[in-house]
Amino acid sequence: MGAHAHGHGAGHGGHTHGVSEHADRRWLTTALALITGFMAVEVVVGVLSGSVALLSDAAHMLSDAASIVLALVAIRLSARPARGGYTYGLKRSEILSAQANGLSLLLLGAWLGYESVRRLVDPPAVSGLPVLVTALAGVAVNVAATWCMSRADRTSLNVEGAFQHVLNDLYAFAATAVAGVVILVTGFARADAVASLVVVALMLRAGVGLLRASGRILLEAAPSGVEPDEVGGRLAAHPEVAEVHDLHVWQITSGEVSLSAHVLVTEGGDCHAVREDLERLLGEAYGITHTTLQVDHLQAPRVEHCLTAHGPVHRAVPGEH
């Protein structure tokens, strides 16, 4: 006797596409308009003043714009219904977007780091006033863009990736403004390169974080906060469960956690009632409501149901039931 159960839905606090999808697009588009408009001004001032910090900020803003465009495309793709061979639809496009944003932060950080060190060794003449004025204007623009981005659903790793780009750009402008003040007051031209190095460190940190989080999803790792062995132990602790194996917990995309497992029920146990109990446990304890449980009776003598079992086997502890 076997039973297959499919519970559909995202875990508690998950990112639900369609509900905030249009709002996300509106806020991201507004931030994109602010960033691209100011970027053109910054390039001109950076070239005229000879500031590598301003030019690096402009380059970063270009990557900001690209990251937002990528996020907008990913939102549209992930909203497409499942069809054909794509049984989950294109929801993973959001994770690919987050990967691209993380990688671009690392690559851009490496380039800016090289340029900053080069100018730290041999600092060019930098005009402090244009740098300060442009940086302060950049802070204002990026505060507005960051606020717009924060209004979108940041539980989506895709939106978070674009947000990190814009937030790091805000840090960059603040550092550049400080450098402008230092140059004006002391004439210390290397302050421009030092400001860039501070921003590089922040960019690398954000890039690594995005790559790690998106990589876990692409590698089908269990989401943070969910320990598969603990879940398996709790499922096996049910009075009528003899064994749980082939337990898999993974994320389809941000906030959408799925679980599948093969459950063996003790002799005389009710497969359907056990399945309902386990689904209720998973939903209440872990917020996992998209489950696929294969429930069978334990055969005597014991027969291995899976010739190539994946992962550890969880069995009831003698005396607990």
pLDDT of 5 over the 60 cut: no
243 with 281, same domain? yes
162 with 252, same domain? no
For residue 1, name the pLDDT band (cuts at 50, 70, 90). very low
pLDDT of 304 over the 80 cut: no
Where does a domain end: 165, 184, 218? 218
What pLDDT does 82 receive? 80
What pLDDT does 317 receive? 67
* Number of folded domains that form the chain: 2
- pLDDT, one tens digit per residue, over 268-293 is 889 999 999 999 999 999 999 899 99
- pLDDT, one tens digit per residue, over 94-119 is 888 889 988 988 998 898 889 889 88
pLDDT above 70 as % of the chain: 86
What pLDDT does 11 receive? 38
Q: Does residue 16 form part of some domain?
A: no
- Any residues with CB less than 8 A from the CB of 26 and at least 6 apart, and which? none
- The domain in which residue 117 lies consists of 21-218
158 with 190, same domain? yes
Evaluate the CA torsion angle 294, 81, 149, 47 in order and state its sign.
positive
pLDDT of 18 over the 50 cut: no
Q: Which of 221, 193, 228 is nearest to 123 (CA)?
A: 193
Does 123 sit behind a cis peptide bond, omega within 30 degrees of 0 on the bond before it? no
- CATH of residue 311: 3.30.300.30
For residue 6, name the pLDDT band (cuts at 50, 70, 90). very low
Mean pLDDT of 161-179: 85
What pLDDT does 302 receive? 57
